[in-house]
Amino acid sequence: MLEANGLASWFKEEQQKTENWYLASSNPYQQSGWGSTPARWRCVREVILTAVNKNGSFLDVGCANGLLLESLIQWASEQKIQLIPYGIDISSRLIELACQRLPDFTNNFAIANALYWRSTTQYDFIHTLLEYVPSQLHSDYIQQLFNTVKQGGRLIISSYSNRSRQQQTFDVVQYLKQLGYPVAGNASTQEEDGWILTRVAWIEKR
């Protein structure tokens, strides 16, 4: 699985599955992997802002069509927090859409595989999901992204559930602790019946 050819095909298959679904529609929510309503989108994604405690640069790793960035900028501004969006994605077609969505920030987007991407700059906030890389590489992946966080900044890791597929979130806090990372904070959002929609945890660079 972890030899170079195996990894390359793993990424290729994941990218293919993503593009087949995301790009099958011009609906911006679907182009970010979201199959429900805008109101529910806010319900499941706004919790990420719990980790955002100041103005600054916000890099979304796996930014798809940039909808999460656009939404977070809007929701943060309602709290008088100004975010500058940055994004990378493995799919050139999704990065193209992200640039169309956020035309004032086209220089802030790049096509890249998050596992191999190395940045020359650092960011106040970096957000990612862990499913972008095989689990054996999670620890290295987190460390590499953490290196790219500015002093006083945060690496934010989310896990989303998918109720129709009965896929639960994973316990991000416990997972990070097991990998040896000190968790600075966490948040979650849930349905009325207790089904957890999103879990978020973050590590801070002090």
Ligand X SMILES: C[S@@+](CC[C@H](N)C(=O)[O-])C[C@H]1O[C@@H](n2cnc3c(N)ncnc32)[C@H](O)[C@@H]1O
Q: Where along the sequence are the contacts to ligand X (CB under 6 A)?
A: 11, 14, 18, 32-33, 45, 60, 62-64, 68, 88-91, 94, 113-115, 132-133
Beta strands in the chain (DSSP E): 56-61, 83-89, 109-111, 123-129, 149-160, 185-190, 196-204
Closer residue to ligand X, CB minimum distance, 7 or 184: 7
Closer residue to ligand X, CB minimum distance, 80 or 157: 157
Q: How far is the CB of 157 from ligand X (least distance, A)?
A: 11
Q: How far is the CB of 57 from ligand X (least distance, A)?
A: 16
Q: 106: which residues sit within 8 A by CB, 6+ positions away?
A: 99
* Residues forming beta bridges with residue 5, ordered by sequence position: none
Q: Terminal CA-to-CA distance of the chain, rounded, Å?
A: 35
Q: How far is the CB of 181 from ligand X (least distance, A)?
A: 20
Closer residue to ligand X, CB minimum distance, 114 or 145: 114
Pairing of strands 83-89, 109-111: parallel
From residue 65, alpha-carbon distances to 36, 92, 154 in Å are: 16, 10, 23
* Closest residue to ligand X using C-beta atoms: 62
Residues 24, 30: contact at Cβ < 8 Å? yes
Q: How far is the CB of 206 from ligand X (least distance, A)?
A: 26
Residues 64, 32: contact at Cβ < 8 Å? yes
Q: How far is the CB of 84 from ligand X (least distance, A)?
A: 16
Closer residue to ligand X, CB minimum distance, 151 or 166: 166
Closer residue to ligand X, CB minimum distance, 89 or 124: 89
